[in-house]
Structure 1
C-alpha cells in the first residue's frame, strides 16, 4: 500500500543518496579507511587509519537486513537500541503513517525481489531524504545482512 507518487519519489531519493555518498567519498574518503568503529551510545561513526581517527560522523540508525529472515527491520522497532539514535527512524515512520506508505510504517519489510542489499539501500535512501541527511553508510556485512546508518554530519578529526 502506497500513494501513486511514492515509487518515483523513492527512486529520486536513491539517486540523491548516490550523489551524496559520492561527495562524501571524494571529500572524506569514506569507504576507503582501514578501519571504522561505531559507538551507538554517542551516535558517532569513526573512520581511522593505523590507529588514528581521521573522520568523525554523527549517525542515526536506519535499520538492518537479515539474510536468514529475508527482511529489513526498521531501527525504531528495536528495543535493543538507544533512543538517542532512533529519532530520525521514528520521523520516517511518522512520514509513512501520514502518507500511508506501508514499507515506512511497518516494522519489517520483506525482500520480494531477492536483493536484500538493494532493499536496505532503498529504505535507507528514503530515510536520508525525509531527514535531510548528508549520506549513508552500511557496515560491511557477511552473509547475514547489514546495519544501515544515516550520516547527519561529517568532519575531519582534529
Structure 2
C-alpha cells in the first residue's frame, strides 16, 4: 500500500541521506572514531577516541532491525524507547498515514535485506524531518539501531 510517487521519493531520500552522511564523514570524521555511545537521558550520540569525546550529536531514534525476527521495528512502536526520542519516527508515521504509505505506518516491516531496509526507512525519516544525517550502530547480536542526527558539532 503506497502512492505511485512514493518509490521515487524514497529513492531520492536515500540519495539525499547518502550525500548528507558523506558530508558528515568529511566534516566530522563520522565512521572513523574508535568509540561511540548514545545517551538516551540526554538524547545525544557521542563519538570519541582514547583522549575523550570529540563529536556530539542530538539524536532521535528511527527504529531497529533484528536478524532473528527478520524485520524492522519503528521506534514509535517500541515501548522501550523514551517517547521524547521517537518524535521524528512519529512524524514519519503521520506522513505515512496522510499519504497512505503502509511501511511508514506498520509497527513492523519485513524484508530480505534488513540493512538496506533500515537505511531506506531511516532516509525517509531524515527527509521528512529535515535532519542533518543518520547513524546506524554496528549490529550487535543481529540488531541494528538507526539514529537520526538532528544537530552535530565538535565537542567543546
With normalisation by structure 1, the TM-score equals 0.97
Instruction: Report the equivalent of 2:52.
Output: 52
Greater than 2 Å deviation, 4+ residue runs: none
How far apart, CA to CA, are the structure 1 residues paired with 2:83 and 2:73?
16
How far apart, CA to CA, are the structure 2 residues paired with 1:7 and 1:36?
33
Matches within 5 A, 1:1-150: 1-111=1-111, 114-150=112-148
How far apart, CA to CA, are the structure 1 residues paired with 2:49 and 2:110?
37
TM-aligned CA deviation for residue 142 of structure 1: 3.6
- RMSD across aligned C-alpha pairs, in angstroms? 0.8
How far apart, CA to CA, are the structure 2 residues paired with 1:41 and 1:85?
10
How far apart, CA to CA, are the structure 2 residues paired with 1:83 and 1:157?
26
How far apart, CA to CA, are the structure 2 residues paired with 1:93 and 1:117?
20
1:16 alignment partner, SS class: helix
How far apart, CA to CA, are the structure 2 residues paired with 1:81 and 1:36?
19
Which stretches in structure 2 are left out of the alignment for 5+ residues?
none
Which stretches in structure 1 are left out of the alignment for 5+ residues?
none
1:127 alignment partner, SS class: helix
TM-aligned CA deviation for residue 37 of structure 1: 0.3
